[in-house]
Structure 1
């Protein structure tokens, strides 16, 4: 995969409001609370510009279950969070994301970005050139079924670096898998 104008691909991983047994309370919707992002250079294979962008949920609240899973507390969002629309602008400004291909481990990240942009009536901060790393991994190694991020790393005899369900760490680890596929 090559970008028309650059040699980078962005890898993202979202953390979102969540509930035990996926029981979304009446009146609430899944909201992005962290956009983990990094950049993979397709020539040098270097992974860089890793960061977490914390996002203020506008349609739901962060509960104890969600905090236990992601480590993201309402206090963290209060201190470091920005609105989703601002987060999209930050991505466009800092990563020059519009012409770039982008990737995530599965389709949730793409679908949630599209859904939340649609809800707000704002431009999607990425191109329409999306790569599902989970599918590419399965396809590349001719596996009978999809597997999660940690199992895919184990398959490659790689360690998970950081904390699982940290958007920035999950994006970085997905980038390691993509880099391996592209070798």
Structure 2
């Protein structure tokens, strides 16, 4: 993939281990369990290469709350790939590191950077990161952040897929980005 290709944006959405109570959150480390990714052609609106890379966490387990929220099970992550292998796919198959990236909010950018640091892996952001949530807030003239599903609805789009699955959320964020910039 060519360097700094601004005709395509890599849209990511991460799912991570999570817990329902403050006590559980304090006692556990949140780790990425799915890297949802797709490519948006900003000239045509075409969304291609959607994928949900299931990542095996090193320390944490899937809580019942997390499984209900994401539909990702412990068995799925037990069979998942390493975080490093997931990053390798992002680099080789999607050109992450050389291309513009986007996500719905800053959570994905921060979580990815944090896990890279925690795992001793080189961070992998491209030349620019677009916060689609901030763009939607401006487009909708909202006075506060609007959630993904609500923003889609307000833009005349319906959520397609399973909420809180990285691949589906990434595709929905890409659809929204196209609706904003077309």
TM exceeding 0.5 = yes
1:17 is matched with 17
Structure 2 unpaired stretches of 5+: none
- 8 Å Cα contact 1:12/1:103 also seen in 2: yes
Identify the residue that residue 62 of structure 1 maps to in structure 2: 62
The 5 A counterparts of 1:10-159 are 10-22=10-22, 23-26=24-27, 28-79=28-79, 81-159=80-158
- How many equivalent residue pairs? 179
Equivalent residues of 2:4, 2:100 under 8 A apart: no
Deviation at 1:5, TM superposition (A): 3.1
CA distance in structure 2 between the partners assigned to 1:55 and 1:151 by the alignment: 28
Provide runs of 4+ in structure 1 moved above 4 Å.
none
Q: Describe the SS at the equivalent of 2:86.
A: helix
Q: What TM-score comes out, normalization by structure 1 length?
A: 0.93
8 Å contact 1:31–1:60 — kept in the other structure?
A: yes
| Alpha-carbon distance between aligned partners in 1 of 2:144 and 2:26, rounded to the nearest angstrom | 32
Q: Is the 1:102–1:127 contact (alpha carbons within 8 Å) kept by the matching residues of 2? A: yes
Structure 1 residue 55, shift from structure 2 partner: 0.3
What is the RMSD of the two structures over their aligned residues, measured on CA atoms? Answer: 1.4
Q: 1:68-107, CA deviations, whole angstroms, 9 ceiling, x for partnerless residues?
A: 110101111123x111111101110111111111111111
Say which SS state the counterpart of residue 21 (structure 2) adopts.
helix
Residues 89, 125 of structure 1: 8 Å contact kept: no
Q: Which residue of 1 aligns with 2:171?
A: 172
Q: CA deviation at 1:59?
A: 2.3
Distance apart, 1:156 and its partner CA = 1.1
2:7 maps to which residue? 7
Give the distance between the partners of 2:6 and 2:135, measured in 1 at CA: 21
5+ residue gaps, structure 1, are none
Partner Cα distance (2:87, 2:93) in 1: 10
**How far, CA to CA, are the matches of 1:64 and 1:146 in structure 2?**
28
